[in-house]
Amino acid sequence: MKLHEYQAKQVFADAGIPTPDSQLASDVDGVVAAAEAIGYPVAIKAQVQVGGRGKAGGIELVDNEDEAREAADSILGMDLKGYHVDRVLVEEAVDFVNELYVSVTMDRGAGKPVAMVSTKGGINIEEVAEETPEAIAREHIDPAFGMHPYQARKAVYDAGVDSDLARDVSSILTTLYQLWDDRDGSDAEINPLMVTSDGEVIAADAVMNIDEDALFRQPELAEMEEEAASGDALEQKADEYDFDYVRLEGNVGIIGNGAGLVMTTLDLVDHYGGEPANFLDVGGGAKAERIANALDMVFSDENVDSVVFNIFGGITRGDEVAKGINEALEQFDEIPKPVVVRLAGTNWEEGMEILNEDLVTVEQTLEAAVQRAVEYADEVEA
């Protein structure tokens, strides 16, 4: 479960992490009232779970009522990378001189949680990891003992944080790990952790993702679940269809059966120069109706330019999948996005014969299917 920024900041603030004064608003008058209560200047921030909000026009800094009304009118109701904005966070503007990055996540390769600190905050941390990996300090934590104080200090020191800030940043990192552990987190991140002109540090953004399987022991967070899902019709539709679904920011839609198979497909899309639009696992034993629902979901994503189906028949039979694909596509007068299909396993040959090749492109191997889907997406972008 992904918390919205305002929800994550509430959790962080309750734990003692400094956050800016803020209020949630859902209409223009509410934005103005919140801004006047907080005091100008303020930031007006779209509450959708997607990166790059600022570059996409989802964050505006305003100095007076007229600017607040104009920004609120522009942001509320906008479509931000496929997400409908129905709420904004009105937040005290931070007079900052530097931006840091701190986070806690699970390093599955090491089999341990890892705390990360960088002085390159305020930008996409994946870009930092790729271009200057040495700029990110990492400290692995034994979950049996938790984060020792010296580990927090070491991560901050290794990242090159100024000594005047080291104590405060170490304290925030320790609290962040404790939250991650106590609240059954999968990710906890502050980017940026702003350094003010007064030498204080404050969480200007907040990310907190929770293990959904642990919500039964997190009643306070469970109450936030419905609000956390709002604003994204696709996430809500995935719940209705009972799909394992994660929306991403690319344009190649991916449908498969089994998490490992879907992850392999995502990796191949990236390998061949594409960008995955989603993770969608239809599960084992998928019948025609379930496959049709999966296509409906992916076609509903405006960011998707092509779709790749990767099905390995075990419990799921290739002929059932083929029927579902045909039934779904025959509902359209015109196929909205090109679909590439790769079938293998149980009854795959029967499935290949059933598939209507006037509606889909059929490939014999996963590599060929992914390459074709990436090519189709590139043609649309061009």
Catalytic residue (choose from 5, 92, 139, 189): 189
* Whether pLDDT at 200 is above 90: yes
Q: What is the mean pLDDT of residues 61-65?
A: 97
For residue 2, say whether it is annotated as part of any ligand binding site.
Answer: no
- What fold, for 233-381? Rossmann fold (3.40.50)
> Smallest Cα–Cα separation from 181: which of 228, 113, 116?
113
For residue 318, say whether it is annotated as part of any ligand binding site.
Answer: no
Catalytic residue (choose from 60, 83, 92, 101): 101
Q: What is the pLDDT of residues 28-59, one digit of tens each?
A: 999 999 999 999 999 999 998 887 888 889 99
Q: How far apart are CA 35 and CA 41, in angstroms?
A: 8
Q: What is the mean pLDDT of the chain?
A: 91
Task: List the single range of 10-24, 63-77, 206-220 with lowest mean pLDDT.
Answer: 206-220
For residue 54, say whether it is annotated as part of any ligand binding site.
Answer: yes
For residue 361, say whether it is annotated as part of any ligand binding site.
Answer: no
**Does 189 qualify as catalytic in the annotation?**
yes
Identify the pLDDT of residue 226: 62
CATH number, domain 21-92: 3.30.1490.20
Q: Which CATH architecture has domain 96-227?
A: 2-Layer Sandwich (3.30)
Domains 96-227 and 233-381 agree in fold = no
With a pLDDT cut of 90, the percent of the chain lying above it is 68
Q: Which helix (H) or strand (E) holds 69?
A: helix 65-75
Q: What is the mean pLDDT of residues 88-98?
A: 96
**Does 101 qualify as catalytic in the annotation?**
yes
Count of CB atoms within 10 A of residue 141's CB? 22
Q: What is the pLDDT of residues 124-137, one digit of tens each?
A: 888 898 899 999 99
* Whether pLDDT at 81 is above 80: no
The domain spans of the chain are 21-92, 96-227, 233-381
**Cβ–Cβ under 8 Å, residues 319 and 346:** no
Identify the pLDDT of residue 126: 86
Q: How far apart are CA 311 and CA 264, in angstroms?
A: 12
Residue 88 β-bridge partners: 25, 46
For residue 45, say whether it is annotated as part of any ligand binding site.
Answer: yes
Q: How far apart are CA 157 and CA 151, in angstroms?
A: 10
Report the residue count for the chain. Answer: 382
| Amino acid, res. 324 | G
Helices 259-271, 366-381: axis angle to 10 degrees equals 50
Q: How confident is the model at residue 60 (pLDDT cuts 50, 70, 90)?
A: very high
Q: What is the pLDDT of residues 139-162, one digit of tens each?
A: 999 999 999 999 999 999 999 999
Identify the pLDDT of residue 285: 60
